[in-house]
Amino acid sequence: METGLSRGRGARQKILVCATCQQRLGTGFGRNGRQTLARALRAHLGISRWWRRRATAKVEVVEVKCLAACPRGAVTVANAARLDRWRMVPRGADLAALLDQLDITA
């Protein structure tokens, strides 16, 4: 089922990260385990903090208010183009494997 979210000029793949789960879990991701999941995903994908470089990125990490799954000890993540692919990501999870499970190509 095509949602139309990935069409058009300058279209990007979007990763939705639940901000409520992320705030409750805190850090535990990234190289040294001191980053939130959204920040670790951006670092893993090489998305810059500066808006000019971020605007040209092929993948966008979007923090949404709540995805209403609320797992214990994990963060809910989804691919915006394929909402049937939700994942509950525990602390210290492999980000490359997560992107592969969500069908995200960088």
Write the DSSP symbol of residue 25.
H
Give the amino acid at 77.
Answer: V
The pLDDT score that the predictor gives to residue 54 is 59
Rounded (5°) CA angle 27-43-103: 95
Give the amino acid at 12.
Answer: R
The tokens for 60 are 């966008």
Is the pLDDT at 1 greater than 60, yes or no? no
pLDDT interval class at 31 (50, 70, 90) = confident
The pLDDT score that the predictor gives to residue 63 is 92
Q: Buried (b) or exposed (e) across 79-92, using 16+ Cβ within 10 A?
A: bbbbeeeebbbeee
| Residue (of 72, 87, 73, 82) closest to 14 by Cα position | 82
Pairing of strands 13-18, 82-90: unpaired
Measured between alpha carbons, how far is 92 from 35 in angstroms, rounded to an integer?
10
User: Each residue of 85-98: pLDDT tens digit?
Assistant: 899 999 999 999 99
Q: Tell me phi and psi for residue 13, to 5 degrees.
A: -80, 140
